[in-house]
Amino acid sequence: MTKHNENHVGCFHLKWDLNHQTIISSNARWLSGIKEMRNQRYEVEISSMSMHKSNEKITLEMTLVTPSLREVKLLSVFNIVDVEGGVVTLIEKKFDVRRSSNIEVHTQNLKGEFVEKIIDLSHQLITFFSKKWAWNKNESVIVKIYDDYQSCSFSVPDIAVYGWYEYREPIKISFPTYLEKTEHLEFAQAVLKHEFAHQVLSELTNDNAALFLQEGFALYNENLIDLNANGIVEKELSLEMFISKILAETPDRLTLQEVIDLEYTSGLVIYHQGLLWTRFLIEAFPKRHFHDLLRRLSNQEYMDCRTAQKYNRNNHLNFDVITEIYGEADVLNKKFLDYYSTNVKIT
């Protein structure tokens, strides 16, 4: 088979076998996890719906049946690079690439003004996170914006909704079908703030942050960052209002152990409870505590796999490091409850 050096090229056996992946590189890490998913009682089937030699495209369909029997169908179109011996070498549909300093934005069918605004925001986000969290970005930040969810569905987990980041992969954004095109820019900017925070925390912790900390940190910064005509500003009031809304709508306060034990598929609970705990760890103690947490996690061994395959390990690791820095879990839980009974006004 023809050799290709591009990192977005991969191969697909027409007679599908999980030992013969990969489709594309960022898909490969996810698809390798399907073996583990099968051990967790997922059912997975992949088939080629159509193969058009004339325009060198192939449509693949993946059907996932989750342990709860929810069926998810994914459909994606790839360009065919080569066909030899029953193996099809594929590449994602063509992207337009715009580079600016340490930013790369890959888009499909988007106009120049839209791309320029995404690039401008990305530069501002790099400055913001560098100053606030001592994040040093040496390599380019890559943002891939897909026309729709189906276009990127083969490279993100089935629980992903319109935005996803995995360590050492591009930030991926897609648009809901219900959005008008006039709403796409504002939507992309909001998702970019969230996913950027994921990238920052992953790099600051060697991708060892617990799930609650990942989602909490992303929500914390997403709501802290405000965009106006002059660029990015910190808006504590926006964050405060968002937290007040969570406290009013979700009276339960999970303990550290309970938030650590939340599943990968816990939905809004992991986001909201993660934000409450993350904000508490950042603001209720000297700032050096949180920076020490990031530093200690960054010194831990890196596991080269996707979040779904290592979140249990990361969660327990974080529990140990947090209690070493902040104190015993029982005392910390009480401080957590006291903090939200006295420091946030529920509106």
pLDDT at 51 over 80: no
Q: What is the mean pLDDT of residues 320-329?
A: 98
pLDDT: is 81 or 293 the higher one? 293
pLDDT tens-digit readout, 65-90: 766 777 777 777 777 767 666 566 66
- Helix, strand, coil distribution of the chain in percent, nearest 5: 45, 20, 30
Q: Give percent of the chain above pLDDT 70.
A: 78
Contacts of 16 (CB under 8 A, 6+ apart): 46, 47
pLDDT: is 233 or 133 the higher one? 133
Among all chains, which residue has been given the structure tokens 């070498």?
89
pLDDT tens-digit readout, 165-220: 989 889 999 988 788 888 998 999 999 999 999 999 999 999 999 999 999 999 99
Q: What is the mean pLDDT of residues 261-277?
A: 91
C-beta neighbour count of 69 within 10 angstroms: 8
Confidence class for position 60, pLDDT limits 50, 70, 90: confident
Confidence class for position 347, pLDDT limits 50, 70, 90: very low
Q: What is the mean pLDDT of residues 9-32?
A: 48
Q: Residue 227: is it exposed, middle or buried by C-beta count within 10 angstroms (0-12/13-18/19+)? A: middle
Q: Average the pLDDT over each of 24-28, 282-286, 312-316 and give the range with the smallest value.
A: 24-28
Residue 294: closest CA among 320, 323, 318: 318
pLDDT at 223 over 90: yes
Q: What is the mean pLDDT of residues 313-321?
A: 96
pLDDT at 243 over 70: yes
Q: In angstroms, rounded to a whole number, what is the distance separating the alpha carbons of residues 125 and 189?
A: 11
